[in-house]
Structure formats: C-alpha cells, structure tokens
Amino acid sequence: MEIEIVDYKGANVVVLSGDIDMYSSPILRKQLMLLIDKKVPLLLIDFKAVSYIDSSGIATFVEGLKGMMSYGGRLKLLGIPEGIMEIFNFSKLDRVFEIYGNIDDAFNN
Amino acid sequence: MAEKPAVVVPEDYLRNIEKKVEDLKALMEVSAIISSTLDFNNLMTLVMEKAKDVMDAEACSILLYNRDTKKLEFEVAICKEDSTTDILKKKVTLGMGQGIAGWVAENLKPLIVKDVKADSRFSEEADKQTGFTTRSLIAVPLVGRSGLIGVAEILNPKKKDFFSGYDGEMFQALCRQVAIAIENAQFHKESIERERLRQELEIASALQRSFLPESPIFKKGNVMVSAVNISAAKVGGDIYDFIEPVEGKAGVFIGDVSGKGVSAALYMAKIISDFRYIAHKVDSTAVVLNRLNTILSQAPRGMFLTAIYIIADIITGDLHISVAGHPPFLWITDGEVRVMSVPSGPPLGILPMDYPTVAMSLKGGDRLILLTDGVFEAKNKEGQRIGFENIVGFVKRHKDEEQLVQMVIEHVNDFSKGMERADDITMVEVKWSAI
C-alpha cells in the first residue's frame, strides 16, 4: 500500500493505492491519527487506486470516523472501485460512511 | 662469495605498507566481531567503534533506511559525547536526497567531502542538535540483497584536514562487512519475531476454539444445527454459538470479528461471553444485537463484529432473524436455493442503531446455510478470490447432498490448494426436520 497526503482546496486528501490489509493498516492508522489528533475538520480518502481492503483496513476507517465524530469532523470516502464497493454494500458500511463518486462531490457536499 | 647488494627501501614506502597491513588486520577483526554476535545494537556499536579507530576519525554514524517512512534514521553515532546517539535518534531524520547521507542513499554512490562548508548538499541539522562540528566526511551507502539498508558516515580525520581516496576505499571495504552484518542481524531478529508470533497465534487459536461450543452439533425439538469452523494460522476471530435462550427456542449465532491475530481472538472471547450473558432469557434477536452493539461501541481501534442471530421456535419452525453487516445466508427450500439478503444494519460496535428483525418460517427439509467471509474470500495461487457467487452456484448444484457443508469446505480447499489459509472459515447449517 502507498499513502500520499495531498491538499485539495485546503482540505487533506489521503490518496491510497494497493492493498489495505492487516499488514498495511497499522501504517495507515498512524498517518490518519496524526491528522485526526490535529482535529482536521474534513478528511477525504481517495480509494481510486485501492485494490483490496480487509476488515482490519475497514476498522482503521471506523476508528478514524469515530475519532472525527467526537469533535464534529467529517471523514469522506471517494472513488471506491466497484469490487470494494460490494464489500461496503454487503456489510451495510455504506450506511456508516459518507461515500462519494469523485473529489468535487466529496468536497462540495 | 660476493655479498648481495643491500636493497634500500624508502621509509615512506615501509610506513605505507605497515599501515596497509594494520588496516587489513582491522578488517579481519571487524569480520571476527561480525561473526561473533547477532545482537544488533551491540554489534553496531562494536563495529563502528572499530571503524572510528581504524579511520582515526573523531566520529562516525549509521543511519538506517526506514522502508515505511522512506526516511533515514540515526541508529548509531559514536563520538566523544555518549548522549549523541539519543539526541540524533529522537530529533533527526533525513529524507531521500536530503543532506549528504540522503544524497548517498538516493544515488547509491559513496562520497568523500573534503570541506562540508563548501558542499551545498550538507545539512547542518545534526550538528545543530548535537553541538558537533563536521569538517570533512566520507559517506557510503549500505546495500544488501534486498536493496538499500542505510548510510554509514565517518567524520573529521584527527591528523589531517580531510580524508583521502585510500581512506574512502578502506571505509567502503568496512561498510560492505557492516551491510552484511546488519542484514544478518535483521534476519535473525525477524526469525525470532516470526517464531514468537507463531507461538502467540497458536495460543490465540486455542483460546478462540475454547470459547466455541463444546460440540459442533446442537439439537432441540425439530431444529438440528451443526457448525464447521476452521481457524486460519493468523486467527480470524470467527464466532458461532448455539443456546436455548428461553424454553422451546433455539438461538443460533454466527459472527466475524474485524482484524486478525491475538487481538481478534481476545475480542472474540469477550464478545461470546457478552453474547451468552445478554442472550440468556431474551426472546428477541433485535434486543440482543442492540445490547451487544452498545457494549461493543467501546471497542478499541475501531474493532467491530458482523453477525447474524436467529431464534427458532423448535415446535413451529418460526424464525426471527437480525443481521448486523454479515454476508447473506442461503435458504434451501422448495427445491431451490435463495440468497437471503434481508433488511439489516451495519456491523456491531460502530454506530448507535436499532437493528431490524425479519420473520420467516421453515418447512420440513428446509436448510439454512450461514457462512463467514473467509469462505468466499479464499484465494487461489493466481491471487483470484473464489467469490460469493461461486459458493452459491456450488450450493445450488449440490443442494440435496446430506454432506453439503463438508462439500463446500472441500470445494474451497480445492480452490485455494497450496495457499496458506488467510482467514477463518465458518459455516453453520440449520436443518428443520419436521414434516
């Protein structure tokens, strides 16, 4: 998994690629928590290049979401590939996370 | 006999030879140190102290390349002040291309810098933090079989202004040994770590098994429930349980904890204890999941549980079902296989939620097949996953077989032959035997 944090109109975008699994999610967690500890109001997670996510990866975002909700921040996922979207739909996680097609929709809504 | 003419050897030449012999001795000593210990920290200090003496330098250091952060971090620094390593370890990291060490790491080329002040690549950060003044240095990339390991530096020759080309060659020869030593020590450390992890996972797996029902078969009235659970080496945290919550009812629970390993096994043990406590004397699947959801909302690190809870009337075959983010179950009835994606809520432990209850009724010969995602996420050697649809198709083709669950497990095992099982596999079958 590769993690890149870029700026989009003043918001932090975490651009991910590769597999988010039990091996890579601790690294992702560290990066997310650094941002959440700073109480960033908006965090966008770009999934376009993610090839696989397992339950450890999802738990990392659940922890991030809970952390951001505690201070009124918003965590938004965007560009989720079809195969990964099936996992989100299957497990009703689409009701837990704010999910958008592209960065503009995620930023503006 | 005439005397042989005396050979006059210039003193400089002799001193040079002596120095080279001394250096070779030092290289051999370093080699001996390297093969004498696998204790990484001890080894690095011994080797670098030797290097500092041989090179007659004021200080030397090793920066290791962190593949996760893609940065160089100080591992050892040897100079007059003992506290230097601690200061550098805590306060200084270099990105690829940053400072002289970063340049050497990026270009994988050694560098002799006669005067750092005249070199724009030099970063003053380490000097600022430690109070040391670097004048001249040699920096050498440490490269192993798997690529860049780090950078070794030797700083300020004591008896001259800058290091020579010969010093550079000597330090490179030392660094080749250092690279091998680091790689060997890392491999040794990793193999100890692997063994420790394997033992911990074995305990976790035994712990997980000890919390499952003693018998995988449960019979009450017209309901017959059976389960198969195969734990992955990494322990996936799958759960199943059978209980009699109230007189005349059978409760069937299946779940999957997020994550793997020791934490998943411990969490599974907590959940199954909570479930047994909550479900006792409660005749509502939704109430049980709601309460479990509240308890699990305090879970550490975003951990959650997908689950299905069914309460069956053992006389009438009426079922009440609540689902929390778990994969659909299969209902074999009227000669067909139905994929039951019933109204449900997200996994437990994430958000406050009222889970819905769905009612259905079983007829004679009906079967329900409940499974965890380890069944359909099994991978083959080509990296393809077997997929939910494949499992449904297999069940459709073999729906009348008595040993259907066992056949599905064999089908999954055949598909992923030669691969280590990545996740637990759990299947629970509910059979209704009344006519």
Domains and CATH numbers, chain A: 2-106 (3.30.750.24)
Contacts of B324 in chain A (CB under 8 A): 92
Mean pLDDT of chain B: 90
**What is the distance in angstroms between the Cα of A103 and the nearest Cα belonging to chain B?**
25
Range with the poorest average pLDDT among B34-48, B205-219, B279-293:
B34-48
Nearest C-alpha neighbor of A3 from the set A38, A33, A42:
A33
What's the CA gap between B402 and A77, in Å, rounded?
45
User: Which positions 350-409 of B are in contact with A (Cβ < 8 Å)?
Assistant: 350-351, 373
> Who wins on pLDDT, A106 or B84?
A106
Contacts A58 to B, Cβ<8 Å: 258, 302, 304
Question: In the prediction, which pLDDT does A109 show?
Answer: 85
pLDDT of amino acid B371? 97
List strand residue ranges (DSSP E) for B67-146, in order.
Answer: 71-78, 93-95, 111-113, 137-144
- The region of weakest confidence among B95-109, B192-206, B355-369 is B192-206
Domains of chain B with CATH codes: 11-191 (3.30.450.40), 213-432 (3.60.40.10)
Tokens of B248: 């005349």
**Stretch B77-87: mean pLDDT:** 74
- Residue B117 in 3-state DSSP? helix
Distance CA B142, CA B119 (A): 22
Assess contact for B240 and B229: CB atoms under 8 A. yes
The edge-to-edge listing of strands for the beta sheet with A74-78 is A2-8, A11-20, A42-53, A74-78, A98-100
Mean pLDDT over residues B210-214, rounded? Answer: 92
Higher pLDDT, B381 or B435: B381
Most confident of B56-60, B184-188, B353-357: B353-357
- CB contact, 8 Å: B256 with chain A? yes
Question: Does B301 sit within 8 Å of A91, measured CB to CB?
Answer: no
pLDDT for B2 equals 58
CB contact under 8 A, B347 and A66: no
What are the two backbone dihedrals, phi and then psi, of residue B204, each rounded to the nearest 5 degrees?
A: -60, -40
Percentage of chain B exceeding pLDDT 90: 61
Token couple for B282 = 């409660």
Distance from CA of B422 to the nearest CA of A (A): 11
What is residue B435's predicted lDDT score, i.e. its pLDDT?
60
Split at pLDDT 50, 70, 90, the class of B383 is confident
B304–A62 C-beta distance less than 8 A: yes
Q: Which residues of A touch B346 (CB under 8 A)?
A: 91-93, 95-96
Q: Tell me, what's the pLDDT at B1?
A: 55
Q: Confidence band (pLDDT; 50, 70, 90) for B231?
A: confident
Tell me the per-residue pLDDT of B118-135, one tens digit each, with 9 for 90 and over: 999 998 888 888 888 999
User: CB-based contact (8 Å) between A32 and chain B?
Assistant: no
- Mean pLDDT (whole number) for B373-377: 92
Q: Is B44 exposed, middle or buried (0-12, 13-18, 19+ CB in 10 A)?
A: buried
**Chain A 69-88, CB below 8 Å of chain B: which residues?**
none
A68 CB within 8 Å of a chain B CB: no
Residue B267 pLDDT more than 80? yes
Mean pLDDT score, B166-192 = 87
Question: Is the ipTM reported for this complex over the cut 0.90?
Answer: yes
